Amino acid sequence: MAIGRKKQGEGEANKAWAALTPSRVYTDTELRDFHKKIQKFYKDKTLSTGEQIKVLDQEEFAVAFGAYTKTVVGKSVYYRAAGGPNGNTDRLVVMYKLLEQYDDWRRKQDWIDNERLKELDLTANAITV
């Protein structure tokens, strides 16, 4: 029975999240502009294999977006949702929704780029044959 309740609870949590998130859908142009602006928040990270990748510094991005506040105490840095513990978290919800749509848009752009590369490869093979 506990498993059924857990799944039911997860469904209720998903419904609550859907109710909180704004219904705004960003356009392709807005997401493209957002992509250009967000690049300064990507930092280089070295994996254990030695490979370097770019990773979004979510805390610094959230501060710039106005969803978090940053407090420096001595050498420690603390991030907190803007508006305090009982404050308004609308900006945070909007940020998460935007990032969610941005991730979907990036996957779509990667797929389009891969398809274009396949077409170019086929064209190059047809020309050389």
What confidence tens digit (pLDDT) does each residue in 89-116 have? 788 888 888 999 999 999 999 999 999 9
Spatial neighbors of 71 by CB under 8 A, at least 6 apart, are 77, 78, 79, 80
Give, rounded to a whole angstrom, the gap between the first and last alpha carbons of the chain: 65
Q: Is the dihedral of CA 102, 105, 111, 115 positive or negative?
A: negative
What is the per-residue pLDDT across 36-57, written as a single tens digit (0 to 9) for each? 999 999 999 998 998 999 999 9
pLDDT value of position 83: 73
Q: Is the pTM of this model over 0.75?
A: no
pLDDT value of position 10: 64
Structure tokens at 20: 């909180």
> By the 8 A CB rule, do 40 and 104 touch?
no
What is the per-residue pLDDT across 115-129, written as a single tens digit (0 to 9) for each? 999 999 888 888 886
